[in-house]
Structure 1
Amino acid sequence: MRPVVTVRPARPDDADAMASVHVESWQQTYRGLMRDEVLDDPDLLPARRRFWRAVLTEERYGSFRAAVAVDDDTVVGIALAGPATDPDVTWDAQLYVLYLLEAFHGSGAGHGLMNAVLPGGDSAALWVADPNPRAQAFYAKQGFEPDGVVKVEDGVSEVRLVRTEARVDPGN
């Protein structure tokens, strides 16, 4: 049986739990793509805590939208979208974060998180690790397509995906 989760806007008191999900999902998803010393760095969790506290409390992130997926009062997924920063922007927003603990893949929480931070199917872009077939398939269902732009950041190859129309799959 699939877990049942709810999605809601993130609150400042979610920051530490969001950091934990961020780090754990990276470790689950990127092992073999990202260097182990990055994933196992003891400073990774404190750095993610500082990041999420800033996102949820500082005015400079006021135009960003953050959401959490919660299962029985436990944060199991996170998402963050905001203004696009790529120099060739032609879309409304950028999805910066969408991570879900592995046990909740296929639960519908990813779709809920995306809708919470990109309401109404805004045109948007995101960067996704390559290869990452599960995430790439999920984003394709949400109307995202590669636009041909790639980059390598911290040794990880990434592909930019863009959604130009409000086409969204109602499921996961």
Structure 2
Amino acid sequence: MRVQILGTGQLLELQRRLRAAGNENIRASMQRRVRRAAEPLRDALQDSIRQTDLTSAGRGSGRRGGPSPTTRPLRATIAGAIRISVRNTGAGAGARVWVDKDQLPRDLRGMPAAINTGRVRHPVFGNRRRWAQQNATPLWWDRTVRAHAPRMTREVERVVDDVRRRLN
């Protein structure tokens, strides 16, 4: 799960001009400003996953239950794995916000996408013969990205225009 704001033509042309000018201060400033434009999206994604409700039908009468076998808070763990990267060169120049699966425990790596679908199936306390389904508010990732994409695009365009003016 990731979102990228890429300025294919304008940003690439601007990067060539920045390299030719050799002004490291302008490049660092541009990278910092693009990162700042992406930070509200990252924060909103973290808030969104932390506030997503996971509900279940509950257990039926006579069924046993108990505390979770893990002390790991699911939504906080996913929120902590949301990252930003900014590249100033190459075809991938721009900002990228994504869930870093390497930061998640092995058994939770598919969980952000599953929660985004609105349906999470998992074995009951690790017993692979018994499965439970939990429901979540679907599209926590997609809705948040959709809400922030126009603002991010405007902000990156503003940064590119400012840098272009400074180079002229």
Question: TM-score, length-normalised on structure 1?
Answer: 0.22
Structure with the larger RCO, 1 or 2 (CA within 8 Å, 6+ apart): 2
Structure with the largest fraction of helix = 2
Structure with greater strand percent: 1
Q: Which has the larger radius of gyration?
A: 2
- TM-score (normalizing by structure 2): 0.22
